[in-house]
Structure formats: C-alpha cells, structure tokens
Structure 1
Amino acid sequence: MDSNESRWRVPSTIWLLIFFVGLLYFLNVFQIEEYYTYPTPGRSEKFYAKESLKGFLVKTKGCRIPYMHPMDKTITKYIFKYDPPVCNNGIPSLYESNFTSLYLVNSSLPHYNLTDTKDLKCCYQEVSRRDVKGPKDNDNSFFTNKTCTNIGESTNIDKNYILITCRVNKHVIYTDMFWFVPSKVNNKTEMINDVTPPLNVLMVGLDAVSRLNLHRQMPKTVAYLTQIDAVEMLGYNKVGDNTFPNLIPVLSGLTEGELKDSCWHGKHFDNCTFLWNMFKNKGYMTSFGEDSSWMGLFNYMRHGFSRQPTDYAYGYFNRISEQKVGNAHSMNVDQCIGSREVYKDFLEYIGSVTRRFRMDNTPYFAFYWGASLSHDYLNKPSTGDESYLEFFRSLYEDGYLDNTVLVFMSDHGIRWGSIRQTYQGRMEERLPFVFVRLPDDYKKHHPQIYNNLKVNSHKLTTPFDLHETMADLLDPYSLTSDNIHSRNDTNDRGISLFSQIPDTRTCETAAIDAHWCTCQQSQEVAEDDPKVLEAAAFVVRRMNSLLKDLTECANLTLDAVLNARVMSHADAITNKKHEFEDYMITVRTAPGEGVFESTVRRVLEGTAHEIMGTISRLNLYGKQSKCITDFHLKLYCYCKSLFF
C-alpha cells in the first residue's frame, strides 16, 4: 500500500503539453491545405500535394496530372554527380572587375611567369555591337575600337564591354573580356503613372530543366525559394517542342506561327512586340540577356535584331567573349570565358544590372535566359545549386525583391537521353518548373491576387498564362477582387495567374496539343499490336513527306517500335466519349538509328490517322543532318553523303 501511494505521477501540465504537441503534429501532417516540399535525396519524403489531391499535382474536372517522386526507382539510375569544369586550364585571371573598375590580381602574377609588373604592359579596347543593315544579315557583328587605353593596377571603366590585352616584351601573355553596366538613365522616358511606385519584373530562366529535375539537382535553391514564399506552379505544361515555341508565347502571347505571320516574316524581330517593349512604353528600363547566345532564342538559325532590343543586353557580350576567350567546350557550349564559368559570370551580370537600376531609381523589366549550365546534361545543374542559392539569397536579403516580382522558370525538361525514353522522363520533359514570388507589401494589400496565384499552382497552366500575368504587372495596382480578368476575353488560351483558372480547363482549351498534354492518363500497349504498327508506319511516312523536297536526305524506314501507350483524355473524367484514340509511339528509324516520339490520332470508325503536334527527336542527331540548315527538319534528316 505504502509503495503504491509513493509511486511518481506525471503532472497534469505535462500531459497537457504532450496533448498540444500531438495536436500540432496531427494538424501539420493531415491539414488538407498544407503545402509540402520535396526532400533532399536520402531524407524522408514529403511532397507537394494537398491531402485532397493525394496522388495528383493537378486534379480538376478538365485535367489530372499525377504526382511523381523526383527520385523514383525508374529514374535514379540516370542520376549521378557531375564535376564542374576546369576553366582556362586552371590558370587564374590576371585582372578582375568590380562594379566600376578593373584591378590587377597580384596573386596571379606567378601563373604568368611574372614576379613584378615593371615589364607588364596592358591596355583595353571598347567592343561594341554593330547594328545590322541587310534584312537577313545575322545579328553577330561587333566593332573593336582601334584605341587601346593603357591600364595600371586599377582603372575605372565607363564602357559596356571591353577587351584586355597584356604583353611582356611585345608578346601577348593575357587576353580577357569584361562587361560593365554604366548608367543609361538619360534614355528613360517619363512614367505614365508616377503616383504609386511601379513593380519591377525580374524573370530568370534555366534552359531544359523539368520541375522534378530542379528538385533533384538544386534542392537548396528550391528550399530557399519556398522559404521566401515563392509559389511553384505544379501544373505548368509546355506548348511546343523546344525553347523557341515555349518562350515566344511568354514574351509575345503568340504562337511561333502567329509571330512569323504578324511581324517576324523570317527576318529580324524588331517589328514584333515583346514584353520588354510593353514595359519600355510605360517608362521602364529594360534588360535582356542570354548565355550560350550563339544558339540563343532569336539567333539560332535566325537573324536576331537589327537594333539592340533593350537598354542592357548580355547576349552580345557573351557572343564576342566566347569567340575571344571561350574555353572548356562541352557538347554545345563553352563552359568558361577566361577563368570564369559562364553561368556564374551571367549571374554576376544580372546582380549588377539590378544594382544599377536601384542606384538610378528607375523601374525595370528584365528577362534572362541561361543555357550553359543546363542545356546539354541532365545532372549538370547540380553544380550550380550553391550559386543560384546565393544569387537569390543576396537579392532577397539586400532588399532587391522588396518591390520586384521574381519569376524563376524553364521552358521544358531534358529532351534527349535515356531518361527521356522512360514514362516519367516523358512526363518531366513536358513539365518545366516555374516559381513566382510577389513582394510582401503587394501581397498584403492585394490578398486576392496572392490567393489566386496559390490556388492556380494546382491548375493546368501554360506559357500563354505567364504572358498574361506579366502583362497584368504593367498596372498591378489596378488589380482588385472585382476586376481581375484575362486579357483574352474571347477564349481561355491565356489566363493571368492572378485570376481564377477554371476547373474545367483542358489541354484543348489551353491550346496544348495532345502530344504535349500531361493531363492524359495512359496505358502501355504491346509494340507488335497491329494498331501500333500501323500508327508507327504512319509516323515514318510523315517524316519522309516532310523531307521529300530535300534531296540531300535519305529515305527513312521503320527499324523498330520501342514503346507504345494509348492515351485516355481528361474528358474521360466527365464520361465524354471520343470518336478517336491517341497513341503515343516511340520508334527507331534507319539509317542513323534516330529515335522519335509522336502522338498519332486514330479515328475509331475508319483508318484515318493524324499527327498531333510535332514529332519529337529523343536522341541527338549531331552531324547527321549537317547537309541542311532548316532547324525544324534537321531533327529528321540523315544526310545521304554519310553513306560514302
């Protein structure tokens, strides 16, 4: 009795504490409106999905996009560590730059067999873009000033781009290029509305990175963007094959065909209206930049601009600097200019331009597109995780995002390689990443805008929507819960992410071809199914018909059917019956062993077939099509000359 009476008892306050901790844990795990983040590989899994959407990222009446784990067992064998390049064979720069000046790096002298600077003679020349004259002249001409200005250990620079040459006893020992961002505020027009400070727009892109691959390769960057309340668009679906047809809708609101017919006409792009033109007309300063610019958006197999399209432009510096001091070439890109990795130099430039805009107290629109880090290799973006993390951290902590809308985005996932021939790889290729971050003060005073953006993160969205969203930012303070609307009132091809995207939206109403649509559910079909073989033969006939006028190209034959799936449309959710079937076919052709993917629509009552969208190439064609220049048909051509 005495021993039982003396037994220790847990105080009621501790039980209460345990109860509340358990309650908080329960709410955290099962709250249906809670958003989760992907793990770093190896950590416990939490994923981005509402409990009510379990198993799906998008689950509406018109679209269902399944949840896929970034480290799915079918994918992990393609994921490995990628080593960063060794720039300039490990020899450091003799000069470096800061915001306003050049300075000598004394610690680099021994690498150039120098003990002091008495015999070193260095000078710089200004390098300028030359305006294009002919209607089809390429936008790649530069002028180097004949005057070479002597520089010492430190020199202030007021030019955009400069070329440095250093000699010892008249022998060149060092060549390098640097950019600067001198003020251009005198070019600024009067603001249309100077009552309320306008919002800046900063769009930063990474080529060929799917949403899931961003989580795999750059988990620290993703975690930080989530921490600063950037909203990830989980149902952002591409609308075309490669970069051009996916970014033209963002920048212009038009398809590639519409742009060509209305203003481009296969010549220069000066007569087209892009987002930077729209913001420039409102008095904003503008900037557009690309690295690996030889294959840039407006330059690969195209003629670019006759005049520089924006106030600041990194792409022209990138083009000439890669010609002069590019190195560590890998597949399609020079990974370095001098001793600097290209993508890091690009990020430095973006940071410096935003600093210049703040110093000049001017609103700005800036669009930047990076390809050197991510265009060619699935696993290479991992080497940039720390740099992008620090880039976004410095923007946020230094107050550059206080009055700036940030968009971090891609155009599509990786389009070739072994991963692309898996089911998840195919889905990833169609689902690039997009993050949108609104300034805290703007969210506070426009809660409906912010709420719509979050709700739309689980809706089917497209590049056309992103254009409408950016267009809304031309007058962001006019957006209220009463007047939020799409600028395209006749249909919903483009709907601002600040408005409410309807649950009934389908790929068809969003102008996404069936071939690119991720809303469809699918089931694998035997490769030797008669319907599959019939569809595969139709794909090969279609490619040959596209090449019929190109006598340089060989006739293609069907070598094998590698994979086939039958697609069920999102309308099946509402039991709407269709009079056709869509087959996703992967074929290999001869000669050349080209691997292609196509969606073939087969009419149920009859034998008619139709190619939906374009025919995608899943492996690299390299020099197989060097005999032609058409950038669309290069995917299919195998040059007859290769037989000999």
Structure 2
Amino acid sequence: MGYSQCFVEIKKNSFRLILMCIILYVLINFREQVEHKMKEQPPIEGKPDNKMLFVNSSQCQINSMDPFSPTAMYHMTPMPSSACPMIKLMKPQSIDGMNYLYLIASAKELWKKLGVRRLSDIFCAYKRFVRFNDFVNIYFESTLFRFSKLRNFTKVDSGNITLRVWCWMDYGRLVYHDVFIFLPFPNPQKVNNSAPVKRLSVLILGIDSISHMHYQRYFSRVRDLIEGLPHTELWGYNRVGQNSYPNLIPLLSGQSVDEVEAKSGCYGASGGTNFDRCHLLWHDFQAAGYATIFGEDSRVAGTFTYVRPGFKKRPTDFYLRSVINEIHMRSTYFARGPLEIKCSGDRVYHHVLYDFIYRLLPHMQARMYDRGFFAFFWQTMGVHDYFQYGERADWEYYRIMRALKRRKILERTLVLIVSDHGLRYGPFVDTFQGMRETSLPIMVAIYPRSLRERFPLAFANLEANAHRLVTTYDLHETLKDVVDLENLSDERILNRTLRLRNNHNVSLFLPIPEERSCFSARIPLHYCQCDGYVKIPWNVRSIQRIAKLAVANINRLLAPYPQCEQLELLNVEDAYLRKQHKLNKTIIVRLVTQPGNGHFDATVLSKNETSLQGPITRTDQYRHQSFCAREAPIEIYCYCS
C-alpha cells in the first residue's frame, strides 16, 4: 500500500512538473514573440506636437514635427554600404591652361587589382565629345596613349573640354572606363576683397526629396557649419506639385506647369519640341552679364528631360548634360551594394556632379568680383530612393560648403539649400509623419553679413518670413530681386510694401501677407499643410465610397492606354479629416489597389466626395510596373499587362 501511494505521488508530481514546464515554455515563447513584434513593427504613431507651430498666421497653422520621433527613429537604419570596384587609374588636371591625364595608381595597386607588373601591358584611348542636344553627343576621333615609368601623363586638347577615357589589357579586357571634365582655371586677376558687393552671385544647391525634418535628422554637419553664418530657414516652405518638375518650373520660370505647357505657353508654343522659348531665371542673370551654370546628376530624371525633350540650344554658359549623357550611355555600371547606386570608373555615378562643382569653384571665385554668377545644381541620385542616404549627402555638402567658405565665395554669394518635396516613396511615407513631411521640403538661405547690414529692411523681412507660408513662386521673385541690388534698398522695399497684395508670388525680401492661405499661394489642398489632421474610421461607407471613386478616377485616366490593367480597390489603410478648413473641409484617403499593390493618397472635399483636390499621388515605388507607359501622368498609375 505504501508503495502504491508513493507511486501515485510520483505520478502527481511528474504531472505537475510537466504542466509547469509546458506553461513556462508557452510564456517564454509568447514573450519572445511579443519582443520580436516590438522590434519588427514600427511604433504606434502619436499625435503631432502642438506645442509649437512652424507657421501660425490667421489663415495657416502648420503643426510642428519631431525629426527624431519614434516613427522616424524606427526607419533610421544604417545605409547599406556600396563600392565601385574599378581601379582609380588616372585623374584629369589642368596646368597653365593645358589639360593632362595623370596616372595616379601605384605599382602596388596595379598589381593587386589588375595583376600588372609593367605599365606597357595597359593600353588606353580617349575620345573627345561635344553636346549636340540634350540626348545626343558628337564625337571626334579616338586617340591612343600609354603610360610609362618615365612618363606618367599624357597631354590632351586644351580649353574647356570633355573626354571619355577607357583602358584595356590582355587583348581587350576592359579595366578602366570613365568620363572627365576639363575646366582650366581662369586667368588670375587683382581684386579688392574689401570693396562693397556690387553684384550678389547666386548658388542653388538643390537636393531632391529632402524634407525639412529630414534635413534636421541627417544634415548635422551642414547645419553646424551654417550655424556660424547669417542664414534663414523657411519653416513654412510648402510644395505646390507632385514631383520635381511642377515644383521647379515655378522656381525657374515663375509660372505653373499648366501655364508653361499651354498652347500659348513657352513650351506649348513650341509644339512640345523643346524648352528653348522659355524665359528662365538664368536668362535674367545672363542679360545682366552674369556667368550662368546648370548641372544635374541624372540623365533619366532631369528636370527638363524626364519624359520631355529638354533643350535644343545650350541653356547656360556651363552645362553638365553632355557628360551625364555620356556616362549613362557608355561607362556606367552597377555598384556592389544597393540596386539604385551606379558607378562610372572608380566613383559613384552622381559624384560627377560634385566634381563639376569643385572644378567650377575657381571660376565662381573669379566671377563673383566682376560679372557675378548664377549657378543651379540639382542632385537626384541616392537621396530620391533611400531614406538613409541623407547622411552621405550631408558629408558631401558639408565639404562643398567648407570649400565655399575657404574660398570666401560665401562673402559675395546668396546660397540656397533647397529641395522640391520630401521623400515620396517607401515605408516611411506610409506613416502619418512621412505623409506630412512629403509636402514640407527644406529651404535655407545663407547670405553675406555685409548685405544684411547694408539692406536691413529687406533682410528683416526675409527673417520674418521664416514662419510664413511660402513656395517656389516666392523664391522666383526673390531671385529676380537679386539681379539688381537696388531692389533691396529700404526706400524701394517700403514703396513696394505699400503696393503689396496677397498674391501667390511675393519676394521674400517683402513681408509675406499675414492673411496668406493655400488658396492664395496656389497650393492644391492635397499638398497644403496649413490644417490639422483628425484620424477618422477608414471602414465606414463614406470612406470606402471615396476610395472607390478615386480608383474609378485612375481607371478613367488609364482608359486610353489598353496596355495598362484596370485597377481595383484592395483596401483602405487610413483616412484623415482636415479639421481647420471651415469652408472647405477635406478628407484624405490612403488606399491600396490591385494588381501591383499600388499605394495611393487622394484628397476630396467632405461636402463633395467627387471633387478631387489635386492629383492622386503614389507613395510606393512602382519601378518597372509601368514599363509600357513612360509618360506623365499615366506612369505612376499604370500596371502593364
């Protein structure tokens, strides 16, 4: 009997032990799953920070945001590394007006990367080219050359020239391929550094897809350098269009895309063949005798060349387009790393833009004392596709700003660090903060201290406008004022202020009207950030109806394109009511379509659900889904059959 009781007790204890182990296992497993989800899932978004307003006027209140909010921090992962494996074989150099190609690879590097012991094993050639139009270059004959121990350079044509260089060994194995710019230094002139500024030069450093918060988040080096310089940040700078083109056209022309492309407009009147008839900002500066510069880093996504024909004639004195064309067509290859990063030679493709800027610095330095210069640079590559790329861009623009400061170019130049919009694609844009940031790009104006002292009223207005609603229309008028500095005198500013109206295009040297609204500033309500947001249920009938109407609107646009699939509503992700528009309350719906899993945002009037307020915008990368319809605005909607 004692044995039986003992056996029963052992069974009971064993059962309890097994039960406890099972419970413990379930608890540990549940905890691991919860911790995993906490790590993998983005944080729940909190309410916007209402303690501070970026803009606080009678018709516009823009709530502030935290650049380092939990939502933003979740997406601030390290940028994947990239590398261009081709050897750094040579560099271009101009000496006393003559141009040379210099061998810079050491014997050790040649052996390690190419297995070369003798320079005579490497054969090279260069071909000079010039621009014919924005898509075609004209070529001269190829010239063969070799390096040797006694001669580590070769002389090429003199003057401002562009060359494509390639080298090979082993009867044709390509080991080097790149494109070079030669811009010999201008003749040195005696200048009086202490003379007052008669002409203010302009340098626009444009960086695609950088919101004001993203600038705060990633551009710490640039911000630290600028902190010691006179500058103004425009916290109410709001985009007016979907992508680069509709935001930069007002900056450069003072007109909207509709006005430029109308039959009576400068582009429409040409039959859409080129932009040569358009009067752009650099033409104002050219007419006043300034040297002009225009450079972009992308052949495909150029401001005037993305699904458009660009210019027939060269638009500015210095123009990078032919070089970018040549690299894209001949020498580019994929980097080791992120898919969208490409190389030419040993360098990242878009670093050619930085090289262009550095080679122009002596020209800027010379011109700022006599003619003055107007320079417009625009970077798209990297920053357009990767949230984290801002950190790399920060380092590059810090170096550029440091070089400008060292050469004292900042003492006679208005520098603008500006973007067109925030990041438009990716997981961060699907968040509430990401959606808001897309419409609030960065704009910082850095100016000489002497000008602020010379024109106190104009620069007091500029600083006061830091917290007003502004757009690229205003920036256009601001830069037109710079052509003649007498426009900034206190007397003229006072007279112009008396005549000032609540127009959409007001120079930032004048007081932006306090009563300005998105309507008077020509900002479509879909992009307007003047109103607060209230999250509303996405699964109610009215929201589902709005989403279906948005999809129907897309399908009407797609109807003339049989190669594109008709879309269907998959689901609605979020919906927001814009609460401060008393007369025009709006609703934003964030939806997903199929096929293609396209993510879209649509804005309608709450009283009229069929009234779209601006285009339906896409927030995910569609890449090759629309390969069969590369034209605006169909490209972002089309899912090719």
Report the more deviating stretch, 344-353 or 376-385.
344-353
Q: Which residue of 2 aligns with 1:494?
A: 505
1:479-558 superposed matches below 5 A: 479-484=488-493, 485=496, 491-558=502-569
Alpha-carbon distance, 1:226 to partner? 2.4
Q: Distance in 2 between matches of 1:341 and 1:596?
A: 32
> How many angstroms apart in 2 are the aligned matches of 1:499 and 1:260?
29
Q: 1:590 aligns with which of 567, 588, 594?
A: 594
Q: 1:487 to 1:596 in 2, by over 3 A?
A: farther
Select between 166-175 and 220-229 the one with higher mean Cα deviation. 166-175
Rg larger in structure: 2
Residue 307 of structure 1 aligns with which residue? 313
| CA deviation after TM superposition for structure 1 residue 486, in Å | 7.9
Instruction: Give the C-alpha shift of residue 75 in structure 1.
Output: 2.1
Which of 547, 571, 581 is equivalent to 1:560? 571
Is the Cα–Cα contact under 8 Å of residues 326 and 334 in structure 1 kept in the other structure? no
Q: Does 1:458 align with 2:467?
A: yes
Q: Structure 1 residues 291-300 or 160-169, which shifts more?
A: 160-169
- Is the alpha carbon distance of 1:418 and 1:608 closer, same or farther for their aligned partners in structure 2, counting shifts above 3 Å? closer
Of 320, 325, 349, the residue aligned with 1:319 is 325
- Structure 1 CA distance for aligned equivalents of residues 421 and 621 of structure 2: 16
**Residues 198 and 485 in structure 2, CA contact (< 8 A), matched pair in contact too:** no
Name the structure 2 match of 1:79: 76
Matched letter for residue 611 of structure 1: L
Tell me by how many angstroms 1:115 deviates: 2.7
C-alpha distance after superposition, 1:381-438 (max 9, x if no partner):
2123222212101101220111111011111011111111111111100000011011
Deviation at 1:467, TM superposition (A): 0.6
Q: Does the 8 A contact of 1:357 with 1:364 survive in 2? A: yes
Q: Give the Å deviation of 1:615.
A: 0.3
Q: 1:269 aligns with which of 267, 275, 279?
A: 275
Q: In the superposition, relative to structure 1, how do residues 488 and 345 fare at CA in structure 2: closer, same or farther (>3 Å)?
A: farther
SS of the equivalent of 2:355 reads: helix
1:328 equivalenced with 2:334 (yes/no): yes
Which of 582, 585, 596 is the aligned partner of 1:581? 585
Give the aligned partner of residue 296 of structure 1: 302
Q: 1:503 to 1:416 in 2, by over 3 A?
A: same
Q: Does residue 255 of structure 1 match 2:264?
A: no
Q: How far apart, in 2, do the equivalents of 1:226 and 1:517 lie?
A: 29
Give 1:546 shift: 1.4
2:36 aligns with none
1:191-238 per-position Cα deviation (integer Å, ceiling 9, x unaligned): xxx996311110011111111112212211122122223211111000
Does the CA contact (< 8 Å) of 2:531 and 2:580 recur in 1?
Answer: yes
Structure 1 counterpart of 2:290, from 284, 288, 293: 284
Name the structure 2 match of 1:403: 412
CA distance in 2, matches of 1:372, 1:629: 19
The share of aligned pairs that are identical, in percent, is: 29
Native 8 Å contact 1:58 1:66 kept in 2: yes
Deviations 1:39-96 (A, max 9, x none): xxxxxxxxxx9xxx95111111111111111011122211111134201x2x321101
Counterpart of 2:218 in structure 1: which amino acid? Q
Q: Does 1:357 align with 2:364?
A: yes
Question: Cα distance, 1:368 vs. partner?
Answer: 0.4
**Match of residue 339, structure 1, among 342, 346, 363:** 346
User: Which residue type is aligned with residue 73 of structure 2?
Assistant: T
TM-score by length of 1: 0.83
Aligned residues: 562
Q: With structure 2 as the length reference, what TM-score do the two structures score?
A: 0.83
Looking at structure 2, the residues matched to 175 and 239 of structure 1 have their Cα atoms a distance apart, in angstroms, of 41
Equivalent position of 1:413 in the other structure:
422
> What is the SS of the residue equivalent to 2:322?
helix
Query: Does residue 636 of structure 2 align to residue 622 of structure 1?
Result: no
1:103 aligns to what? 102
- Offset, 1:120: 3.8
| In structure 1, C-alpha distance between the alignment counterparts of 2:166 and 2:537, rounded to whole Å | 64
1:92 aligns with 2:87: yes
TM-aligned CA distance change 1:83 to 1:227, over 3 Å: farther
Change (3 A) 1:548 1:166: closer
- Structure 1 residues 283 and 183: alpha-carbon distance in aligned structure 2, compared to 1, 3 A threshold: farther
Residues of 1 paired with 2:226 and 2:349: CA distance? Answer: 23
For the aligned residues, what is the CA RMSD? 2.4
Q: Is the 8 A contact 2:301 2:380 kept in 1?
A: no
Q: Which moved more, 1:591-600 or 1:379-388?
A: 379-388
2: CA distance between counterparts of 1:441 and 1:257?
Answer: 40
Question: What residue identity is the alignment partner of 2:181?
Answer: W
- Displacement of 1:250 after TM fit? 0.5
- Whether the aligned pair in 2 keeps the contact of 1:128 and 1:142 (CA below 8 Å) is yes
Give the secondary structure class of the aligned counterpart of 2:250: helix
Residue 514 of structure 1: CA displacement? 0.5
Matches within 5 A, 1:104-253: 104-107=103-106, 108-110=109-111, 111-131=113-133, 139-148=134-143, 150=145, 152=147, 153-155=152-154, 157-168=158-169, 171=172, 172-182=174-184, 197-253=198-254
Q: Hey, what's the Cα distance between the residues in 2 that align with 1:348 and 1:555?
A: 45
Unaligned runs of 5+ in 1: 1-48, 132-138, 186-193, 571-576
Are positions 1:632 and 2:633 aligned together? yes
Output one character per residue of 1:297-331: Cα deviation in whole Å (capped at 9) or x when no partner: 11111111111111111132122123222123577
In structure 1, C-alpha distance between the alignment counterparts of 2:503 and 2:339, rounded to whole Å: 37
Range that drifts further, 100-109 or 276-285? 100-109
Amino acid at match of 2:456: P
- 1:236/1:487 Cα in 2 relative to 1: closer, same or farther (>3 Å)? farther
Query: What is the CA deviation profile of residues 143-178 of structure 1, one whole-angstrom value per residue up to 9, with x for unaligned ones?
Result: 221141646523455342111233447535432211
1:590 & 1:168 partners in 2: Cα distance? Answer: 51
Please state how far the C-alpha of 1:583 moved relative to its aligned partner: 0.4
2:186 and 2:362 in contact (8 A); partners too: no
CA change 1:198–1:627 in 2 (3 A) is same
Asked if the contact 1:558–1:589 (Cα under 8 Å) also holds between the matched residues in 2, the reply is yes
Which secondary structure does the structure 2 equivalent of 1:412 belong to? coil
Cross-structure match for 1:65: 62
